[in-house]
């Protein structure tokens, strides 16, 4: 590969793909740890209770059982360590159905699982809050203020000529990545190694260190490959602590893997949201007021709230706005970050209401949106560093064939099917966060290889590949001369693969480190070059066969003066059976402005994944909580319906070119979250256009459209 060959932006296949398809990629429970024992969790069958006693006698006598860990013998911890779900087995108390109350450790997984059935727990039930719909009127102001106001919303709404005043409902959703959560814990004296599926390597390291009163350097987290997470692996959950506790108790490594059923009440969820949206506009289609009030639930042990009103606060240029939140503490596992937290659920409400108001005004919904956005963020007065909304809407309309759409619902029919078209726009914040990288160069004659080390993570989204592309182009090396090492807390600390910060943080750090390496080598040569030298020439001139350097990259202060977001436009073609109400999405178009695209192939895959999740959000997904007991009756893929191949039609993806050097030096915005934002609203709006029925309570099941 020549020095001037460009690889950033190319559609390059994942460099770790061969490992994955041949089974060579090690996930958290794949590591060959000697003398490993197996843990299996015992879960509470009460939503709120005091544990009067736990009888472990039969379990302890079961073949292969080494120990049963309960609140009676669990090691005491030093603190909570910012642990999601809190520290458990420290007291005889239950706060939600499915809370871990014991761990059976045995020589084999089968022995541990069987013996777990023999543990008998005697509960004293306590009053439990488990019915959100019956008690949402008791919701209170959040502990931390999250609302915002500008102008005089109440006066503007009352005076408006045209209004929408509706409530939109989204159910509980669960993450359910392909790889369930799992951990192997290994103690060597006071040092702990965790082979653990982690989106944020250093976050887990610091949390577990705090729980056990260790120095962070004494906790080694290893996670080279993560089989999906969508936010659920962004922090440490109690099962990680339980694996470490059990390993300490039995004095041997312990492997603890959650089952698919365990996942529904072990690692958080996206909570049910009730969103009251009020929009007001003048007769010419100019928005004058936006109100967005969210009522949701959290856990009795802590508070987590999705910012559903964020899009309403910044997407449209209305002089008057009121964004508010109320929350109900419940005896349910604490909610957590779920792909595009707040924006995905919030966009369903906001963009459905926008569509309703456009219909009220008899305006084309694209025209209405274009009329009401500006290049300044109305929530904070800062200019957007770039905004591709208009370009995305125009491009998407062309791709979907928007001119075929009729404003009047039920105007297009093909046999038994009513056909409709819908649109929605979305956004997600873009930012770079501190990340560090070490580059190691080795030379043998004219051949130079580079090793990149950083504690980044790869959820299967292509981190290995984009890091290699960035290093290869910056150093002027072929891709196969770059080795990428990530997913290890012993590497320089890095951002996590969360909140669309990964690519921007990792790649800018790698780029800066490689540039610094070349500059330092140049300084060591003391030469002036007629043409830019290769890394091999620099190392030869400096008489070096090995060289390494590290950079602790930080975002620029200039970026703080702007509002930076990825923006998108979603278009859906929906067919609804006029007799059964069955919904199909034969075609969906997603157009996104996300700054510099490092890898066109993996970025496209990310957007497609977001669209598929959005289709599930719109049509199939919902977790059902039994209001009598507080347990989820959806516990497997048989009950929790994620989209199958037949649910997903053609998804066309396009990117709007953006050269935004304000957001960060490389101009990367990130695509991990924005792909899902607006998808469900686009489908719901298309269903209205097809049938004339407005569904404000997801999912769009046939009974709601008949």
Residue 673 annotated as catalytic: yes
C-beta separation of 80 from 87 below 8 A: yes
254-266, pLDDT tens digit by residue?
A: 999 999 999 999 9
Percent of the chain with pLDDT over 70: 99
Q: What is the pLDDT of residues 130-156, one digit of tens each?
A: 999 999 999 999 998 789 999 999 999
Mean pLDDT of 271-291: 98
Of 526, 554, 582, which residue constitutes the final position of a domain? Answer: 554
- Residues 522, 630 within the same domain: no
Mean pLDDT in residue range 637-662: 95
Q: Say if 298 falls within a structural domain.
A: no
Task: Say if residue 82's pLDDT is above 80.
Answer: no
pLDDT tens, residue by residue, 491-518: 999 999 999 999 999 999 999 999 999 9
CA distance to 43, 618, 650, per residue, from 577 (Å): 43, 16, 19
CATH number assigned to the domain comprising residue 485: 3.30.365.10
Total number of domains in the chain: 3
User: What is the DSSP code (8-state) at residue 76?
Assistant: P
Per residue in 558-613, pLDDT (tens digit) is: 999 999 999 999 999 999 999 999 999 999 999 999 999 999 999 999 999 999 99
One domain, residues 671 and 642:
yes
Domain check: are 238 and 255 in the same one? yes
pLDDT at 78: 86
pLDDT at residue 85, rounded to an integer: 79
Selecting among 343, 356, 473, 673, the annotated active-site residue is 673
Per-residue pLDDT tens for 605-637?
A: 999 999 999 999 999 999 999 999 999 999 999
Q: Is 80 exceeded by the pLDDT of residue 547?
A: yes
Residue with tokens 């970026």: 559
- Are 207 and 93 in the same domain? yes
DSSP designation for 180: -
- Mean pLDDT within 529-541: 96
Which of residues 554, 583, 615 is at a domain's end? 554
In a domain, 450, yes or no: yes
pLDDT of residue 687 exceeding 80, the answer is yes
**Do residues 549 and 570 share a domain?**
no
In a domain, 569, yes or no: yes
CA distance 402 to 311: 24
Q: Is pLDDT at 3 greater than 60 in this prediction? A: no
Instruction: Let me know if 147 is exposed, middle or buried by CB neighbors in 10 A (0-12, 13-18, 19+).
Output: middle
Pairing relation of β-strands 254-257 and 182-188?
antiparallel
Residues 249 and 108 in one domain: yes
CA distance 456 to 458: 7
- Cβ-count burial of 65 within 10 angstroms (0-12 exposed, 13-18 middle, 19+ buried)? buried
Q: What does the pLDDT look like over 101-135, one tens digit per residue?
A: 999 999 999 999 999 999 999 999 999 999 999 99
Are 385 and 507 within one domain? no
Asked if residue 310 belongs to a domain, the reply is no
pLDDT digits (tens, 9 = 90+) for 186-232: 999 999 999 999 999 999 999 999 999 999 999 999 999 999 999 99
Q: Distance (Å, rounded) from C-alpha 206 to C-alpha 235?
A: 10
Strand order of the β-sheet with 191-196 is 65-69, 100-106, 37-43, 254-257, 182-188, 191-196, 219-222
How far is C-alpha 559 from the geometric centre of its chain's CA atoms?
23
Q: Are residues 394 and 456 in the same domain?
A: no
Tell the burial category of 370 from Cβ atoms under 10 Å away from its Cβ (0-12, 13-18, 19+). Answer: middle
Tens digit of pLDDT for each residue in 164-182? 999 999 999 999 999 999 9
Q: Which domain holds residue 202?
A: 37-127+178-228+233-265
Q: Say if 400 falls within a structural domain.
A: yes
Same domain, 80 and 207: yes
Residues 371 and 479 in one domain: no
**DSSP result, 456-498:** ---SSSSHHHHHHHHHHHHHT--GGGEEEE-SBTTSPP---S-
Are residues 67 and 191 both part of a single domain? yes
- Which pLDDT value is given to residue 195? 98
Structure tokens at 192: 């702990």
Of 248, 265, 282, which residue constitutes the final position of a domain?
A: 265
Q: Using a pLDDT cut of 90, give the percent of the chain over it.
A: 96
Per-residue pLDDT band at 86 (split at 50, 70, 90):
confident
**120 plus 210 within the same structural domain:** yes
Query: If you count DSSP H runs as helices and E runs as strands, how many of each does the chain have, helices first?
Result: 17, 24
DSSP string, 145-164: ---EEES-HHHHHHH-SEEE
Read off φ and ψ for residue 642, nearest 5 degrees.
-85, 155
pLDDT tens digits, 334-358: 999 999 999 999 999 999 999 999 9
Residue 1, pLDDT score: 36
Using pLDDT thresholds of 50, 70 and 90, give the confidence band for residue 2: very low
Report yes or no: 425 and 393 within 8 Å, Cβ to Cβ.
Answer: yes
Is residue 395 one of the residues assigned to a domain? yes
- The pLDDT of residue 569: 98
Q: Is residue 166 part of a domain?
A: no
């Amino acid at each position: 590969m020549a020095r001037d060959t460009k690889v950033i932006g190319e559609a390059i296949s994942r460099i770790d793909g061969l490992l994955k398809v041949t089974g060579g990629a090690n996930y958290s429970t794949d590591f060959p740890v000697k003398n490993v024992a197996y843990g299996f969790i015992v879960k509470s069958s009460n939503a709120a209770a005091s544990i009067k006693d736990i009888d472990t006698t039969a379990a302890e006598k079961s073949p292969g059982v080494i120990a049963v860990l309960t609140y009676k013998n669990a090691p005491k911890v030093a603190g909570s360590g910012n642990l999601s779900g809190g520290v458990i087995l420290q007291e005889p108390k239950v706060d939600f159905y499915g809370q871990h109350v014991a761990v059976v450790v045995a020589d084999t997984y089968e022995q541990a699982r069987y013996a777990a059935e023999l543990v008998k727990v005697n509960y004293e039930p306590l009053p439990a809050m488990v019915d959100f719909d019956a008690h949402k009127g008791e919701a209170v102001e959040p502990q931390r203020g999250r609302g915002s106001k500008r102008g005089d919303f109440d006066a503007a709404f009352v005076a408006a000529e045209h209004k929408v005043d509706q409530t939109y409902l989204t159910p509980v959703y669960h993450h359910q990545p392909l790889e369930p959560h799992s951990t192997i814990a290994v103690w060597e004296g006071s040092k702990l190694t965790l082979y653990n599926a982690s989106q944020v390597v250093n976050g887990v390291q610091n949390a577990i260190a705090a729980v056990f009163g260790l120095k962070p350097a004494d906790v080694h987290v290893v996670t080279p490959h993560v089989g999906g997470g969508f936010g659920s692996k962004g922090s440490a959950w109690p099962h990680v602590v339980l694996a470490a506790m059990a390993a300490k108790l039995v004095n041997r490594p312990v492997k603890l893997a959650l089952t698919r059923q365990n996942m529904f009440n072990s690692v958080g969820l996206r909570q049910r949201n009730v969103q009251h949206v009020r929009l007001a506009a003048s007769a010419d289609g100019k928005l004058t007021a936006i109100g967005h009030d969210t009522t949701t639930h959290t856990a009795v042990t802590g508070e987590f709230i999705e910012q559903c009103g964020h899009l309403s606060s910044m997407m449209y240029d209305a002089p008057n706005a009121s964004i508010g939140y109320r929350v109900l503490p419940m005896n349910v596992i604490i909610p957590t970050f779920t792909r595009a937290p707040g924006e995905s659920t919030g966009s369903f409400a906001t963009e459905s209401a926008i569509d309703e108001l456009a219909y009220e005004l008899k305006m084309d919904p694209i025209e209405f949106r274009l009329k009401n956005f500006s290049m300044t963020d109305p929530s904070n007065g800062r200019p957007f560093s770039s905004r591709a909304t208009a370009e995305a809407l125009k491009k998407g309309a062309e791709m979907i064939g928007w001119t075929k759409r009729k404003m009047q619902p039920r105007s297009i029919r093909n046999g038994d099917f009513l056909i409709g078209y819908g649109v929605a726009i979305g956004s997600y914040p873009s930012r770079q966060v501190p990340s560090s990288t070490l580059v190691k160069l080795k030379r043998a004659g004219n051949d130079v290889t580079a090793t990149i080390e950083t504690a980044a993570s790869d959820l299967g989204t292509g981190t290995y590949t984009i890091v290699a592309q960035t290093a290869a182009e910056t150093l002027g090396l072929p891709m196969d001369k770059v080795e990428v090492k990530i997913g290890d807390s012993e590497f320089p600390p890095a951002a996590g693969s969360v909140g669309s910060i990964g690519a921007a943080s990792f790649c800018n750090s790698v780029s800066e480190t490689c540039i610094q390496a070349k500059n330092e080598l140049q300084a060591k040569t003391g030469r002036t070059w007629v043409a830019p030298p290769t890394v091999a020439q620099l190392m030869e001139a400096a008489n070096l066969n090995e060289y390494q350097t590290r950079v602790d990259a930080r975002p620029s202060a200039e970026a703080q003066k702007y509002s930076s977001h990825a923006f998108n436009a979603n278009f859906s073609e929906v067919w609804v059976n006029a007799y059964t109400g069955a919904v199909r999405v034969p075609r969906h178009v997603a157009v996104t402005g996300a700054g510099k695209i490092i890898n066109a192939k993996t970025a496209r895959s990310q957007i497609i994944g977001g669209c598929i999740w959005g289709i599930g959000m719109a049509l199939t997904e919902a977790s059902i909580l039994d209001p009598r007991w507080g347990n989820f009756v959806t516990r497997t893929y048989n009950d929790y319906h994620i989209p199958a191949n037949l649910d997903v039609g053609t998804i066309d993806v396009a990117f709007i070119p953006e050269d935004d050097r304000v957001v960060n030096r490389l101009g990367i915005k990130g695509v991990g979250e924005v792909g899902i934002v607006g998808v469900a609203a686009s489908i719901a709006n298309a269903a209205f256009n097809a049938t004339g029925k407005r569904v404000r309570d997801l999912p769009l099941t046939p009974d709601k459209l008949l």
